[in-house]
Amino acid sequence: MSETSRQILDELKKGGQLDEPAYQRYLKLAQADDQQALMAALNADPAVAKEALAQAKGAVLGMPYVNLEGKEIPLSVLKILPQDLAENYQMLIFGQQGNALEVGLVDPQNYKAVEAIEFLARKKNYRLKYFIISPASFALGYKNYQNLKEQVSQALDFAEEKFAPKNKVDSGEPTKLDDIVKTAPVSKIVSVILRHAIEGGASDIHIEPFSDKSRVRYRIDGILHTSIVLPIYVHAALISRIKVMSNLKIDETRIPQDGRIRLNVNGADVDFRISTIPLVNQEKVVMRILESPKTAPTFEQLGFLGNQLKAMERNIKKPNGMFLVTGPTG
């Protein structure tokens, strides 16, 4: 039996969460030396308060506990950690003080989760302060990720009447692209997509038709993540809106086009390099985000550590030679 498991049970008993029979029952389970099974059993026990369990685990591991119920988490802070990583590792960023981030972990002993967040922190020069949270707290905080989809959904509610097919048979006049492009809902959707890509640290945005949907994907740290799935009936309108913003020809759909957009987002000028690509009966658009950082990143922020870092610093001082930078663009 691990000492950690026994100490957690002792904390729960001391806090009145376990009576003597329950304590002895869980002690036998702990003797199997399977902490994951023990935690699952305690989480499933209605007599054990989940916040008390997280608090007890934090006391044993020497990590502060926090309850996120009623805590408002700014989306700009939450989006520092990509949504799929938050879901996969059951962790989220819930606060920021300067360059210090407050990170909530459901399982502080998940070292892959700690490794992932520390790699992200090194790249962007953040300092981390860890807290233990309950699964219920994680679920409450994770709901804030839905704001992106909710903002788009609100715009879609307005767009649906105009662009959604009423039935399988075409019963009216064809929709004019000019009318679609000028509508506020489509402008809102594009604006939300661009803003959240920047806040989430994406390098590229892909908007592409996929079966009967329009899929929006962000490239973060070289990996494409599906962020939003929209109805196919707004796809042409989104592409046309982006073409208007980048001074491309709306009615040219047979050949690729390249353009550029400059926007002011959160007080900083950001350039987007736009490429439209013709597909069968549709087009897709790829946008490269060209955000100019105020300073060049350090080797540590680029992910170099230990012997790799020492080798870089040693060789860069030599009078000749070269470094080869390989891998995906950006």
* pLDDT tens readout for residues 272-287: 999 999 998 889 999 9
Decide if pLDDT at 169 tops 50. Answer: no
Domain match, 229 and 260 both: yes
pLDDT score recorded for residue 166: 45
Judge whether 154 lies within some domain.
no
Domain match, 283 and 241 both: yes
| 130, two tokens | 């860890």
Decide if pLDDT at 243 tops 70. Answer: yes
pLDDT score recorded for residue 147: 61
Q: Which residue has the higher pLDDT, 77 or 181?
A: 77
Q: Which residue has the higher pLDDT, 324 or 164?
A: 324
Judge whether 296 lies within some domain.
no
* pLDDT tens readout for residues 39-70: 888 878 887 888 888 888 888 888 999 998 87
Nearest alpha carbon to residue 104 among 95, 223, 316: 95
* Confidence at 173, pLDDT banded by 50, 70, 90: very low
Residues in the chain: 330
Cα separation, 112 vs 53, in Å, equals 22
What is the full DSSP assignment across 162-209? HHS-SSSS--SPPPPHHHHHH-HHHHHHHHHHHHHHHHTT-SEEEEEE
Judge whether 159 lies within some domain.
no
* pLDDT tens readout for residues 16-35: 888 888 888 888 877 776 67
Mean pLDDT, the chain, as a whole number? Answer: 81
Structurally, the chain folds into a number of domains equal to 3
Average pLDDT over residues 241-248: 91
Residue 162 in contact with residue 173, Cβ under 8 Å?
no
pLDDT score recorded for residue 129: 92
Domain match, 202 and 278 both: yes
Cα separation, 29 vs 80, in Å, equals 39
Domain match, 88 and 129 both: yes
Domain limit, last residue, from 38, 61, 84: 61
Average pLDDT over residues 134-144: 86
pLDDT score recorded for residue 155: 58
Cα separation, 103 vs 97, in Å, equals 12
Domain match, 260 and 229 both: yes
Judge whether 199 lies within some domain.
yes
Judge whether 237 lies within some domain.
yes
SS3 content of the chain, % helix, strand, coil (to 5): 45, 20, 35
Judge whether 305 lies within some domain.
no
Cα separation, 54 vs 107, in Å, equals 9
Domain match, 285 and 185 both: yes
Domain match, 53 and 79 both: no
Q: Which domain holds residue 133?
A: 75-143
| 249, two tokens | 């020809």
pLDDT score recorded for residue 85: 82
Residue 267 in contact with residue 259, Cβ under 8 Å?
no
Judge whether 165 lies within some domain.
no
Q: How large is the greatest C-alpha to C-alpha distance in the chain, in angstroms? A: 76
Judge whether 186 lies within some domain.
yes
